Structure 1
Amino acid sequence: MEKKESFGGVENGADHLDEQSKKLKKGKKGGIKTMPFILGNEMCEKLAMVGFTKNMVNYLMEQFHMPLTQAANTVTNFSGTSSLTPLLGAFLADSYAGKFWTISAGTFIYLLGMILLTLTAALPSLRPPACELESPDCVSANGGQIAILYVSLMLAALGSGGIRPCVAAFGAEQFVEEDPRKPKKTWVFFNWYYFAMGSAILLAATVLVYIQDNVGWSLGLGIPTIAMAVSLILFVIGFPLYRYMDPSGSPYTRVFQVLVATFRKRNLPSPDPKCLYVNKELDATISTDGMLEHSNQFKFLDKAAIVTESDNVIASTKPNLWRLNTVHRVEELKCIVRLLPIWAAGILFATSAAQQSTFSLQQANTMDKHLTKSFQVPAASVSVFIMISMLCTIIIYDRVLVPVARKFTGLDRGINVLHRMAIGFFFSIAATLVAGLLEVKRKNAAISHGLADSPTATIPISVFWLVPQHVLHGIAEVFMMIGHLEFFYDQAPESMRSTATALFWLAISAGEYTSTLLVTLVHKYTNWLPDKNLNRGKLEYFYWLLTFLQVLNTLYYLICAKLYTFKSLQSKKKEGEEGVELASTEV
């Protein structure tokens, strides 16, 4: 039976017990005791990543003498690549190595990149001679210096590919089978996973950025490098405590097998769903949560499960999966296809978010950063309000909004995950709209004080005028980004959860590259984003272009959410009993 989910509806089902209960007998591993090691690894990785990227534009402009647009594009390209490599990490984790070893290897590679990056700050020979940014005698970095910089960034990006798709899925697996007779509480884990990540980002955006700006880049990059080493040690120490899910073969191979089998049988008539091929023994390792129910979407893919005489199916033998697939494997592919429209909606959200570490930073550089008469807030630390807003919203969401909403909706998680993401889109629209209004105010202040042609002068307008846009974006992240991550994990086939988490990072990657493309085109064909003097640009037009694009994107998302159909699971009521029942996968 197929359950069509309307926007804001609830998926039906019943508890699925058998396979999970068997796995629990293997030992009481996993649970809350593993969290210091898993979340500790994630926090150290984020401390290292954000400890550099939050201030990366300043580092590249000051130490490598890059122009603003080149520095901004380098940041977004690095961030985009760091969000693209998780596809490789997810493939290795789901297919061969498992999540533990993929995370460990990724952390080690990341550490090598951070060591090399720290050396570019510590050794004068690895960067161009110091000079004033506006000086005509400023020497650009040579090919060797740029190569070392890019190699260090590539190693860090490659290492993040092993960490990002696996940590969230690995952590959720420590709870998902704690008691299979109770509803899954993975949504709670994702909230606090993001809280731990946000705490590390908050520390990086304040303490580390202050050290980089006021003490030195060597120490400012050395600390996150040490944090990365600590994260590796922490994670490995927890090895005896973790619950492990064995890799079940390449999910990509299974996807291609279904596609090839469908193509081979493309001329066959549409089948009766009751006659499609089912082999529970064959699918046992990829269906411990329950077999996927047949759905009526994408019926042409069902042809891969049509049994013909040429298939030579014998109960005791494994069929040629390039000719014949089970209903479960066909439904795995359908699940992934259904995720893609929702996935695509996250790209422009990430594009908007990318501006918080590029042009927003340059706005802050031109403004009055005094907190007191003797203390100035580092420009890169202004974005700390994103983290403060995000952390506060997570607490309020988890402790206030969810219990209140639960009384009205009956949902354990308070509100439907599709509603949650929709709310995030609206807050993101507000954030870029407000950012444009603030830029108008900042430029008017520069003009009124005769500073429009002085790009390095401090405009007498408080940097804290940037707080509203950062607060709105922080709230948007809580609703959209956590909801996005939770959605992918929940709705993906169980054997593809690392791959699904990689999709989350892939949307961010696509958003970063979209930002690079958008900035490049706007810089080439307009005068909105000048390299030297932001006061003479039209940054507000760029923010409002993003606002308009996000409005269109939100309308697209609402249509996709309305049409989305949640996956349905089945499991045996009792061993040996005929019939199936829907499993509970409330979203």
Structure 2
Amino acid sequence: MAGLVSNDTEAQSSGDSSGKRGGWITFPFMIATLLGLSITSFGWVMNLIVFLIEEFNIKSIAAAQISNVANGCLSVVPVVAAILADSFFGNIPIISASAFISLTGILLLTLIASLDYLRPRPCATGSILCQSPSKLQLGVLYAALALVTAGAGGTRYTLASAGANQYEKRKDQGSFFNWYFLTLYAGAITGATAIVYTQDNASWKLGFGICAAANLVSFFVFVSGKRLYKHDKPMGSPFTSLIRVLVAATVKRKAVISSKEEDYHHEAKTSAAMPSKRFRFLNRAALKTKDGSVNNMWRLCSVQEVEDFKAILRLLPLWLAIIFVSTPMVMQTSLMVLQALVTDCGLGTHFKVPAGSLQVIVLISASTFLILNKWLVYPMFQKLTHKPLTPLQKVGVGQVLTILSMAISAIVEAKRLKSVENEHLMSVLWLFPPLVIVGIGEAFQFPGNIELFYGEFPESLRNTATSLTSLVIGISFYLSTALIDLIQRTTEWLPDDINRGRVDNVYWLLVIGGVLNFGYFLACSWFYRYRSNLQGDDNEQDPKDVST
């Protein structure tokens, strides 16, 4: 052990290939860190809308938009963290720094909840004249939100990569991923129930304080296991080769494309002899010229690098379709919280469902169907059709379920508005069915997204490919914020008091958009051809490759 301690710095910078580090001894540290950070991040983000409305006197629609921006950052930051980890610092330092940043942010949120001068005065009961937060109060709030989002986003996917890197065998890596997702959902459910319930029924200070304690423990647990971790050496940005292809093709744009294999640059282990005919402009990047470009990495790329770039271009139309279906999903999440605030949340005489905890219905539904899909739905489908359910088919099923949930949400909201006219509150239980369907859709769509990106992206970009689903969700949150603002400006459907609005019309608008997007998705899927054999027989490129 002394040797490990003395050589820790060297191992961190150059990687430890001795086999003395890593393995299952690191598992408790990784999983405990993930659990604590998940409880922290989901504990504050699930109830953020309610916190902004009740503690900062922010109007409901504005609170939903701020929440969407924060959630968007939570989904975009992991991609940035992954690039920094792969290119410069490695996973372990990024996780350590991000966990500390998250701790700083949650401590600041706890301080905001504890000190009265950091929040505006509470609104008097029944009053419509409420004090708005000052610039100082908003500045401190936004600083806290920036820290907790950057910290949580920086650890979520890098922890998955760092944990899998501790194992040499694919079987062990697969086992870790199973535990990773189970722990992530466990933390999310705990944050969405116990933490949110504490915030609503005890105090915001105690709720944020528990999150801070969980973050602090997870930070120390992760740091204490640092000497046991296997540190991988950063290999440089995987995006560099993609940029090189674009630069080289542009520089040699006047060169004549050849049909001879020997005129193109090949690497020793390349699987492609000739560049494909799709996106022929890019073939110039691998074309050998007589101007000394052989020794210039920015003027000559391999055929495989060109084909990798093309593979990403082919996925862009499908990626757009996934973004457009994810936008209504995240928009529905925000609107559901606002609906819950004006329903009867009581279950029995002693329990009241916190509005911020409604999303746990989605988590439980998604978790349940992830298990059912693996052990029942997918095997049954393959038994009946003698073919596995493809990634695009899974995404398509998820899109149909998403559209169905929007239609049910519209019907439920119309019923709620009628109950308001009759001067009684509708039970919050009416909001459960569309949330259950959303969860089922996620159980199909999100794994399908990851499977599609991971299988179709170049091997050098597969780590980044797994984080693209997170990026899709992040972009969707921003689009959702913009769409809410547009609807507010052009209609009267989303006033601050949704009892005077028409949220049901918003849902029907999303249904129409979802149907149009699904048609676009079907068209893209029809022309798309997978690079690899889905049966697992081989990994060769489909000669009948058709680009979208």
Q: If the length of structure 2 is used for normalisation, what is the TM-score?
A: 0.87
Q: Which residue of 2 aligns with 1:491?
A: 456
Q: Which residue of 2 aligns with 1:178?
A: 169
Query: SS in structure 1 opposite 2:351?
Result: coil
Amino acid at match of 2:514: Q
Shifted more, 297-306 versus 194-203: the winner is 194-203
Alpha carbons of 1:267 and 1:426: their partners in 2 closer, same or farther (altered >3 Å)?
same
Alpha carbons of 1:85 and 1:562: their partners in 2 closer, same or farther (altered >3 Å)?
same
Shifted more, 200-209 versus 160-169: the winner is 160-169
Deviations 1:512-566 (A, max 9, x none): 11111111111111110111x2222100000111111111122222222233343
Amino acid at match of 2:207: G
Alpha carbons of 1:111 and 1:494: their partners in 2 closer, same or farther (altered >3 Å)?
farther
Q: Which residue of 2 aligns with 1:280?
A: 268
Q: Which residue of 2 aligns with 1:513?
A: 478
Q: 1:425 aligns with which of 399, 406, 431?
A: 399
Q: Which residue of 2 aligns with 1:50?
A: 42
Alpha carbons of 1:492 and 1:153: their partners in 2 closer, same or farther (altered >3 Å)?
same
Are residues 1:561 and 2:520 paired? Answer: no
| Structure 1 Cα separation of the partners of residues 380 and 260 of structure 2 | 42
Match runs of 1:80-159 below 5 Å: 80-132=72-124, 134-159=126-151
Are residues 1:527 and 2:527 paired? Answer: no
| Structure 2 Cα separation of the partners of residues 431 and 328 of structure 1 | 43
Are residues 1:224 and 2:211 paired? Answer: yes
- After TM superposition, give the deviation of residue 383 of structure 1 in Å: 2.6
Q: 2:279 aligns with which of 273, 289, 298?
A: 298
Q: Which residue of 2 aligns with 1:348?
A: 324
| Structure 1 Cα separation of the partners of residues 175 and 198 of structure 2 | 34
| Structure 1 Cα separation of the partners of residues 192 and 326 of structure 2 | 19
Are residues 1:256 and 2:237 paired? Answer: no
Kindly indicate whether the alpha-carbon contact (under 8 Å) linking 2:456 and 2:532 is maintained by their aligned counterparts in 1.
Answer: no
Match runs of 1:17-96 below 5 Å: 27=19, 34-96=26-88
Query: SS in structure 1 opposite 2:352?
Result: coil
| Structure 2 Cα separation of the partners of residues 151 and 110 of structure 1 | 12
Q: Which residue of 2 aligns with 1:503?
A: 468
- After TM superposition, give the deviation of residue 96 of structure 1 in Å: 1.4
Q: Which residue of 1 aligns with 2:545?
A: none
Alpha carbons of 1:585 and 1:59: their partners in 2 closer, same or farther (altered >3 Å)?
farther
Amino acid at match of 2:81: G
Q: Which residue of 1 aligns with 2:315?
A: 339
Q: Which residue of 1 aligns with 2:159?
A: 167
Kindly indicate whether the alpha-carbon contact (under 8 Å) linking 2:261 and 2:274 is maintained by their aligned counterparts in 1.
Answer: no
Are residues 1:198 and 2:192 paired? Answer: no
| Structure 2 Cα separation of the partners of residues 233 and 335 of structure 1 | 42
Shifted more, 388-397 versus 371-380: the winner is 371-380
- After TM superposition, give the deviation of residue 295 of structure 1 in Å: 4.2
Q: Which residue of 1 aligns with 2:344?
A: 368
Query: SS in structure 2 opposite 1:280?
Result: coil
| Structure 1 Cα separation of the partners of residues 254 and 396 of structure 2 | 41
Q: 2:292 aligns with which of 295, 298, 311?
A: 311
Amino acid at match of 2:378: V
Are residues 1:379 and 2:355 paired? Answer: yes
Are residues 1:389 and 2:354 paired? Answer: no
Identity %: 36
Query: Which consecutive residues of structure 1, in runs of 5 or more, have no partner in the other structure?
Result: 1-22, 284-289, 314-318, 450-458, 570-580
Amino acid at match of 2:392: L
Amino acid at match of 1:258: V
Amino acid at match of 1:500: A
| Structure 2 Cα separation of the partners of residues 82 and 267 of structure 1 | 44
Amino acid at match of 1:308: T
| Structure 2 Cα separation of the partners of residues 233 and 291 of structure 1 | 48
Query: SS in structure 1 opposite 2:425?
Result: strand
Alpha carbons of 1:186 and 1:150: their partners in 2 closer, same or farther (altered >3 Å)?
same
Query: SS in structure 2 opposite 1:358?
Result: helix
The alignment of Structure 1 onto Structure 2 pairs a total of residues equal to 524
Deviations 1:254-280 (A, max 9, x none): 222111100111122223362321133
| Structure 2 Cα separation of the partners of residues 153 and 144 of structure 1 | 14
Are residues 1:443 and 2:417 paired? Answer: yes
Amino acid at match of 1:402: Y
| Structure 1 Cα separation of the partners of residues 230 and 277 of structure 2 | 35
Q: Which residue of 1 aligns with 2:546?
A: none
| Structure 1 Cα separation of the partners of residues 273 and 197 of structure 2 | 51
Kindly indicate whether the alpha-carbon contact (under 8 Å) linking 1:65 and 1:138 is maintained by their aligned counterparts in 2.
Answer: yes
Amino acid at match of 1:523: Q
Q: Which residue of 1 aligns with 2:222?
A: 235
Amino acid at match of 2:366: M
| Structure 1 Cα separation of the partners of residues 404 and 491 of structure 2 | 24
Q: Which residue of 1 aligns with 2:303?
A: 327
Kindly indicate whether the alpha-carbon contact (under 8 Å) linking 1:47 and 1:200 is maintained by their aligned counterparts in 2.
Answer: yes
Alpha carbons of 1:144 and 1:496: their partners in 2 closer, same or farther (altered >3 Å)?
same
Instruction: Answer 1 or 2: higher relative contact order, Cα 8 Å, separation at least 6.
Output: 1
Alpha carbons of 1:388 and 1:299: their partners in 2 closer, same or farther (altered >3 Å)?
same
Alpha carbons of 1:360 and 1:568: their partners in 2 closer, same or farther (altered >3 Å)?
closer
| Structure 1 Cα separation of the partners of residues 260 and 124 of structure 2 | 72
More helix by percentage: 2
